[in-house]
Structure 1
Amino acid sequence: MTASPVRTERRGRVLEVTLDRPKANAIDLKTSIVLGDIFKEFRDDPEMRVALITGAGEKFFCPGWDLKAAADGDAVDGDYGVGGFGGLQEMRAMNKPVIAAVNGICFGGGFEWALSADIILAADHATFALPEIRSGTVADAASVKLPKRIPYHIAMEMLLTGRRLDAEEGARWGFVNQIHPADKLMEEARKLADHLASGPPLVYAAIKEIVREAEALTFQDAMNRITKRQFESVDVLYDSEDQMEGARAFSEKRDPVWKGK
C-alpha cells in the first residue's frame, strides 16, 4: 500500500498537517486533493480551531508543484481538488487561523501554500523563492497575493527573476512573522497554535471574513457591511453567547470561557 503523502495529528483543538512526500515534499494532483479534503474537514469541524502546516524532514517545507509528475502527465490546469492547489489557496470560508511552520526550502507553489496561511514562522535556515520564471510558467497565486503584501518592487523582483530570499529578508519585507532555530521551530509554532486555540473562535471567524471580503471593497462599503451585519460571521458573533461572555469576564475580572456559540 502506498503511504499517504500527508500526515495529520489532532492536538486538542489544533490540527497539525505535515506534508510528507519524499524526497522533497513536492505537491502533485493526488496530494493536493488529499490536502483539500483534510482542510475541508478541518474547516467544517466545530471542535477544531487552528491548523498548523509544515513539511517533513529538515530540508524541505515544499518546493511547490511536482514537475516530474507534470512530465508524466499531471496537467498544470488539472483538478487540484476542493480548495485549489494545496487545499488552502481557494478554500471558501476558511474562517479559522492557519499557521505555517516553514522548516526549509519554500519555493514556487510551496511559497504560495505558505502565503495561504495567516501567520508564517520560519526556521533560521529557511529560504523562499518563486522560480517558475525559469521553467516557463507563471506563479499565478503569488502574482495576485505578493504585490499586495510586500513592497511592489520586491514582489516583482521575486516574480521576474526567481531570486532566493533567506528568512531574515523575508521577515524584513514582512511575509515572515517570526524566525526560530530549526530545532525550536515546531515548539514555538505549537505554542502559538495553542494560544490561538484558547481564543474566541467566533471573533477569529469575523476577522478572517472581514479581511478577505474587504479586499474588494472600499473602506466605507466594508464598514457599512459590518455595521449592518451583512457579513455572516459578524451577524453570528453579535448574537452569540461568546459576545456576552467576553463582556461578563471583563467586568468580573476573570478569563473568559469561549464556547464558539
Structure 2
Amino acid sequence: MTSFIPTFAHAHVTRDERHVYTVTIRDAKSRNILSSAVTLSVTDAVRWVAAQADARALVFRGDGERAFIGGADIHEMAALEPQSAREFITRLRGLCDALASVPVPTIARIRGFCLGGGLEVAAACDIRLGSNDAVFGMPEVRVGIPSVIHAVLLPALIGPGATNWLLLTGENVDAGQALRWGFLQFVSEPEELDELVERTVQPIVAAGPRAVRAQKSLLRYWRDASPEAGIDRSVDAFGDAFTTDEPSRYMEPFLSRRNR
C-alpha cells in the first residue's frame, strides 16, 4: 500500500483504514465550479486513486454542502472559440472518463447543486446518493450550448423521455424526481447523507476485493457488449475468480453456518 498521498491543487484525497478513498473538490468557488484548472487537478487525483492496488471504493464529493458541482465555469466558457471550446470540453470528458475507469466502485455523494458538467460527472459514477435538498439540471441550452459528453449516458440511466425533458428545457428537478427517474439510488435527509454513504460502503468493503473489481469490470463490459459476448466474458471471469483462495475464504463462513 502506498502510504504517501500526494497533494493536488483542487482536490483533497483521503484514505481510511479500510482503504476507502475520498476525493473532495476544493478551492473551486463556493459551488465547486469546474474551470479547466480545477478539472485537470481533480482528474489527476481520480487517476491517482485508480492506480492504487489497495483501493476498495472511491467516494467523490464537493467541498462544503452548497453543491456537489455547480457546473462548468461560465466565465471561462464565455471567452471560448471553436478550438478552445473543443479543448475545454475534452478536459471535462477526461474527468468523467477517469471516474468511469476507476476499477473499484465509485460513489457520488451529492448535496446541493448538481448541474451541467456536475451532473455528467455524477452520471459517470457507479452509485449516486443524494440529500433531499439536492437540485439537478442540465441548463446548457439556456446559455446557448448543447449538453454533451457524458450526457450520452442519461437515456440509459433515466430513459429517453426524461432525458429529452431535462436537456431540451434546461429546467431543474429536485432529489425526489431524480430518485423516481432512477438517477439517484437513495435519498436521505441532509444530516444523514454521510450515514447513507457509509451504509453503501460497508457491504462493498465486506465483499471479496477481487470479486468486486471483477464485477465492476463486467458491468462496464456488459454496457456495450452483446448478450452473448457478455455471457462469454462472464464465464471467463467466474473461472478466473478461482485462481486465488478468495472464493474459499469468503464462502467458509457460510458453509460453517450451514454445517452447525
TM (normalized to structure 2)?
A: 0.85
Which residue of 1 is the match for residue 241 of structure 2? 237
Which residue of 2 is the match for residue 35 of structure 1? 42
Taking the aligned partners of 2:175 and 2:29, their CA distance within structure 1 comes to: 23
- Offset of 1:107 from its aligned partner? 0.4
Taking the aligned partners of 1:192 and 1:95, their CA distance within structure 2 comes to: 17
Taking the aligned partners of 1:26 and 1:125, their CA distance within structure 2 comes to: 19
Give the match's secondary structure for 1:160: helix
Which residue of 2 is the match for residue 61 of structure 1? 68
For the 8 Å contact 1:7–1:19, the answer to whether it is kept is: yes
Give the match's secondary structure for 2:97: coil
Which residue of 2 is the match for residue 76 of structure 1? 85
Taking the aligned partners of 1:87 and 1:141, their CA distance within structure 2 comes to: 11
Give the match's secondary structure for 2:61: strand
Taking the aligned partners of 2:257 and 2:90, their CA distance within structure 1 comes to: 47
For the 8 Å contact 1:25–1:61, the answer to whether it is kept is: yes
Taking the aligned partners of 1:91 and 1:57, their CA distance within structure 2 comes to: 21
Select which of 112, 120, 124 maps to 2:132: 124
- Offset of 1:93 from its aligned partner? 4.1
> Is residue 172 of structure 2 the alignment partner of residue 134 of structure 1?
no
For the 8 Å contact 2:204–2:212, the answer to whether it is kept is: no
CA 238–156 in structure 1, closer or farther in 2 if over 3 Å, else same:
farther
Taking the aligned partners of 1:69 and 1:236, their CA distance within structure 2 comes to: 48
For the 8 Å contact 2:100–2:124, the answer to whether it is kept is: no
- Offset of 1:79 from its aligned partner? 6.6
CA 93–53 in structure 1, closer or farther in 2 if over 3 Å, else same:
closer
Structure 1 alignment gaps of length 5 or more: 255-261
Taking the aligned partners of 1:115 and 1:22, their CA distance within structure 2 comes to: 22
Taking the aligned partners of 2:163 and 2:108, their CA distance within structure 1 comes to: 20
- Offset of 1:131 from its aligned partner? 0.7
- Offset of 1:166 from its aligned partner? 0.3
* 1:52-201 mapped onto 2 (5 Å cutoff): 52-71=59-78, 75-78=84-87, 85=93, 87-90=95-98, 93-201=101-209
- Offset of 1:155 from its aligned partner? 0.9
For the 8 Å contact 1:42–1:48, the answer to whether it is kept is: yes
Which residue of 1 is the match for residue 215 of structure 2? 207
The structure carrying a bigger helix percent of its residues is: 2
- Offset of 1:118 from its aligned partner? 1.1
Select which of 5, 8, 11 maps to 1:6: 11
Structure 2 alignment gaps of length 5 or more: 1-7
Residue type of the partner of 2:16?
R
For the 8 Å contact 2:23–2:46, the answer to whether it is kept is: no
Aligned pair count reads 247
Taking the aligned partners of 1:201 and 1:112, their CA distance within structure 2 comes to: 27
Which residue of 2 is the match for residue 258 of structure 1? none
Taking the aligned partners of 1:127 and 1:204, their CA distance within structure 2 comes to: 31
